[in-house]
Structure formats: structure tokens, C-alpha cells
Amino acid sequence: MLDQLKAYRKIEYPINSKITVRQPTLDEVCEYGEREYLGLVHTLCATPSDRKVDIWDSLHVYWDTVDEYELFISLFRALKGIDISIVLPGIVVDDFVPMIHTQTKQIVLRNSDGVVIDRAIHSILTDYLRSVHKLTKNVDFGCNDYTKDIMIEDDRDEREMLGRKEYRSNLLPLISTMTNDEGFKYRYDDIWGLPIGVFMDAVVRVSHRRNYDQLMTGIYTGNIDVKKINKKELNLFGELK
């Protein structure tokens, strides 16, 4: 189970004695390449629902029949030749091969040094990355084959549309907004040392604070009925989504 306080506090988070996952600073993300970095994170966190089109085109089966961990194995191996130490220091993708664990009889990824990435490690890894980057696990269901076919084609159309667009930075608008917000203490010249998880937390927290302030103003002026508001939105110190 993920220790959220430690995940927030430390740049490096040990999953076990051999595997550590980390959150890079904004400066490291910029130097690595924002597009490449976010692509790496989304690949490691991908669920079958994220890969409807790929699964259908390659296997001709619906995504909801595919095991999430087995998809991870396939996507992890597809990262061969890519340096993933920005997230998993000391882990070289090319060294890992799928094999059957001698004790559990389950498929795992293992390297020659005996480092194993099994279902439990995968679960903690993806929980950490989603928590740090404020990502929501994507799980889609279709009620019948006709609906699933439509969902696959919708994803295909969206992918093709995004492929035609020029890539635009996701982080730049957030950094620009935050460094120009009076409630955020970091400036343009010192924000780059922030771990990305701490920065993303600040983005969501400031947004939550703005929403809270607006709701309270509306309540006190009589323009909003407090009974119609989700109580979580009125908890300034509540857990973030």
C-alpha cells in the first residue's frame, strides 16, 4: 500500500529493497523532454481502457478481456532502449524478461540480478505515479459488443485528431499560472527545483482554494444554497482528488 505522506515528502520512494520509484524535479523533466517524460509515465500507468485501439488492432479482442498487469509487461518491454531512470533509477528495461515465478507460478518480469517486477510491485508503482501526477485510473466498460465497437472507434478518431495537432506543452500553462498567482510562493527562477509531485499538488490545492473561496462568498451573500454543495468542496483541508 502506498504511503502518501512519504510519497509527497521524498523525491525517492522505495518500493522494496531493490526497486525505487522517484519523482523528478521540473528541471529534470524539462531536460529529459516533457513530451517524452509524460509519455513514459502514461505508458507505465496504462490500463487496457487506455489502449482499446491497440488491443483491438493487434489481438482482435476487446480491452476488457485483457489483464492490466499483462498489458504492463507488454508495454514495459516495448520501452527497450529507452532510459527510464528518471522514474525508476537503476532499472534497465532491456535487462528484464517475462518468466514464470518458481513459487507463485505467476508471470513476472525479472532480470539477471534477481530483481522482480510482479503484480504487487506494479500496483505500488502505478499508484505512486498516479498520485504524484494527479492522474485518474481509466477503467471503461461497454454494455455490449456494439457499444464497445463505438468506444474503440471514438478512441481511434480522438487519437488521429491529436496526431494531427502540433504538440503543446502541458506544464507551461500550469507553471505560468502558478508563478503569477499571489498565493504561490515560488517564482519563475526557483520553481524548477520543485519535485513534479509537489508542484502538481500545489496546482490542485490552489485550484481547490479558489473554488472554496468562491463558494464561501456565494454562501455568505446568499447566492448559493449550501445544501446543494458537496461537503468535500467546503473542506479547505480535505483530500485532493
240, part of any domain: no
What pLDDT sits at residue 99? 94
What letter represents residue 158's amino acid? E
Identify whether residues 155 and 79 lie together within a single domain.
yes
Domain match, 111 and 85 both: yes
Determine the structural domain holding residue 179 and report its residue range.
Answer: 171-234
**What residue has cell string 500500500?**
1
Looking at residue 204, what is its pLDDT?
92
From first to last of its 241 residues, the chain has per-residue pLDDT tens of: 889 899 888 899 999 999 999 999 999 999 999 999 999 999 999 999 999 999 999 999 999 999 999 999 999 999 999 999 999 999 999 999 999 988 888 999 999 999 999 999 999 999 999 999 999 999 999 999 999 999 999 999 999 998 898 999 999 999 999 999 888 889 999 999 999 999 999 999 888 888 888 888 887 787 777 777 787 877 777 777 6
How many domains are there within the chain?
A: 2
- Same domain? 216 vs 126: no
123 and 62 in a single domain? The answer is yes
- Domain end, chosen from 134, 164, 194, is at 164
> Is 239 within the bounds of a domain?
no
| 241: in domain | no
Domain assignment present for residue 80? The answer is yes
Residue 68 has phi, psi (to 5 degrees) of -65, -45
Q: What pLDDT does residue 229 have?
A: 79
Q: Are residues 129 and 197 in the same domain?
A: no
Q: Are residues 143 and 195 in the same domain?
A: no
Encode the chain in three state secondary structure. CCCHHHHHHCCEEECCCCCEEECCEHHHHHHHCHHHHHHHHHHHHCCHHHHHHHHHHHHCCCHHHCCHHHHHHHHHHCCCCCCCCCCCCCCCHHHCEEEECCCCCCEEEECCCCCEECHHHHHHHHHHHHHHHCCCCCCCCCCCHHHHHHHHHHHHHHHHHHHHCCCCCCHHHHHHHHHCCCCCCCCCCCHHHCEHHHHHHHHHHHHHHHHHHHHHHHHHCCCCCHHHCCHHHHCCCCCCC
User: Is 183 found in the same domain as 222?
Assistant: yes
Shared-domain flag, residues 144 and 79: yes
Q: Is residue 132 part of a domain?
A: yes
Let me know if residue 116 belongs to a domain: yes
User: Same domain, yes or no, for 18 and 77?
Assistant: yes
In a shared domain, residues 68 and 107: yes
Claim to verify: residue 121 and residue 38 sit in the same structural domain: yes
Shared-domain flag, residues 125 and 62: yes
**Burial, 200: exposed, middle or buried (Cβ in 10 Å; 0-12, 13-18, 19+)?**
buried
Where does a domain end: 164, 191, 223? 164
Where a domain ends, among 141, 164, 187?
A: 164
